[in-house]
Amino acid sequence: MIIELKGGQAQNLGAKLMLIAVRDRLRARFPGAAIALRQTPLLNSDFRRAFGAVRKFPLRKRQFDLTRLAYVLPSNIWSTVLGGETVVESQIDAVLDLSGFAYGDRWGSGSTGAAGAEIERLSLRGKAYIFLPQAFGPFDGLSASLATTVGRQWAGSALICARDTQSCRSLEMLLPGEPNNVVVCPDLTFAVEGKPALASTNASSRDTALIVPNVRMTESVSRGPLAVGYVPMMLRLASAARRHGFDVKVLNHGGHEDSPLCQRIAIALGAEILTTEDPLDIKAIIGAAGLVISSRFHACVAALSQGVPCIATAWNHKYRELFAPFGLEYAVLEDGGESDYVPLVARVLDDHQARTTEFAAVRAAMMQNVEQMWSRVYAILDRVADDAGRGRSR
């Protein structure tokens, strides 16, 4: 069985953690399965080989889609032409889509439509397309005809896991009838345990407040007041943390693209920058901290999943939805209007101290939800593996 992991990348440490978490689950449950990755500028050949994956060769470039050719030539011909470490869509038995947030009006209709066409091709051949937990929608920008087509196609996916209720509502409006393949599940990295490297064991402590910038907050994609006042707001939040006695450090969670912004904020604060390429290490660093002020979604997940007080700056609904089960929506900032964040920091710290048992119960329920999601995924892949085995034996 060949399973493609679609939509991942290796620069952003949250996306990298998702890739590693899924790979490790698949290796444990399906040790004989091969994993395929598509090489991109953010996921190069060196990473792919170290990751232990074959290469998925795409036959689609923007609006030009020749993927149907993959089904015209036999697999042995493709293997001869492309080599043993490269596969095309026709050789793949299942796709696990872990894009994070790629389908909705903010990104246009191209990816949404292409995913629909891929789902249709695979489902017609008894193969499975699974959307692992991610944010979706809204899909209001789709034309009526395209929405109808995409809804029908997406209804053929084996499973769609929405990370939050707002994403689930968007999917229910897109898919026809009452879809039975949509479930709500927290981000899968919620259940991943950090494993700190020896060099990072003292990077943070309960006296440390981590500032986690996100360059997206300074771009037009944020479409809000934060795009203008983002850096000053982060500096005021850091100042508030210092007034509560924290040693402030800047944590680079976004890799190369966040580096200039991290340096800018660190210089303004006179603070140390923490950086690592190991996402398991960075989760452990966050878990050891006393406070996290983050604009990176997966840094917020890492904090909340480990009981670390967290304040988020948000550029879309996925942040509010992440904090909602804990009753911490007030800790998600969507504008930079406050001049003094000392009361906010105090409220967040007090809540975590007073509601320790409640928050632990929420985390346990979310962990259980992730495990239930994996049970469903395993059952689908078991069926696919059986079908693939019967196909090879004929």
- Mean pLDDT within 19-37: 96
Please tell me the distance from the alpha carbon of residue 228 to that of residue 230, in angstroms, as a whole number.
6
* Residue whose pair of structure tokens reads 């039975």 in the numeric block: 180
Report the pLDDT averaged over residues 201-224: 80
Domain boundaries, the chain: 2-191+367-393, 198-354
The gap between the terminal CA atoms of the chain, to the nearest Å, is 16
Q: pTM for this one? A: 0.90
Same fold, 2-191+367-393 and 198-354: yes
| Percent of residues in the chain assigned helix, strand, coil, to nearest 5 | 55, 15, 30
Percent of the chain beyond pLDDT 70?
Answer: 88
pLDDT of residue 108: 87
Pick the CATH number of 198-354 from 3.65.10.10, 3.40.190.10, 3.40.50.2000, 2.40.110.10: 3.40.50.2000
pLDDT of residue 393: 47
- Which pLDDT band, with edges at 50, 70 and 90, does 135 fall under? very high
Say which residues have a Cβ less than 8 Å from residue 278's Cβ, sequence separation at least 6. Answer: 197
pLDDT of res. 149: 96
CATH fold for the domain made of 2-191+367-393? Rossmann fold (3.40.50)
pLDDT of residue 7: 92
Q: Is the pLDDT of residue 223 over 60?
A: no
142 SS3 class: coil
Band the pLDDT of 394: cuts 50, 70, 90. Answer: very low
Peptide bond into 138 cis (omega under 30): yes
